[in-house]
Amino acid sequence: MADMSYDDLVENFEYLDDWEERYRYVIELGKALPPLDEARKTDETKVDGCVSRVWIDSRAVSEASGSGDAETRIEFDGDSDAHIVRGLIAILHTMLSGKTAREIADKDVASELQRLDLAAHLSPQRSNGLGAMVERIKGVAATHAG
C-alpha cells in the first residue's frame, strides 16, 4: 500500500463495478494498514466525532529542501476498531501522509474524496467521522505550515 498513489487508488475504485465491491476494497485497504501500537492509542490521539473508536497519531518531520529552508512533512498512522473506518484511514494515509504541511493545509480533501464518490455511500455518522479525521490531520498540518 505504501507505494500506491492516491491516483492509483482512485483508478482501482473505478475498476470496481458496484458499491459492494468498493466496500470490500475499502475494508481490504484497512486490513493492509499496519495496526497502531497500543501505547499510541491515547486520549491525545483519539479522534472525537467518530462513532467507532479512532486514533490518528501525527508527527511533523522537518527536512532541508533544496533552497536550504526546512520543509515540514506530516506523517501519520491511524487505527480504528471498525473495518470500514480502518479503510478510510488507509485512504487518507495514501492521500496525505508524507506530504508537506503546506500541501495538506491547502488540499481540498473533500473534493479529492469526491473522486471516490464516498459521501453518497457512507452513513451520516461515517461521513461525520471521516470529516473529523480530516480536520485532525489538517489541524496538525496548519500548525506546522507557518
Q: Which residues are catalytic?
A: 50
Element (H, E) at 136: helix 124-145
Output DSSP code: residue 68.
S
Q: At 122, which amino acid appears?
A: L
User: Which residue, chain included where needed, has cell 501519520?
Assistant: 76
What is the per-residue burial (b if ≥16 Cβ within 10 Å, else e) of 72-82?
A: bbbebbbbbeb
Give, in degrees to the nearest 5, the angle at Cα 139 between 136 and 144: 135
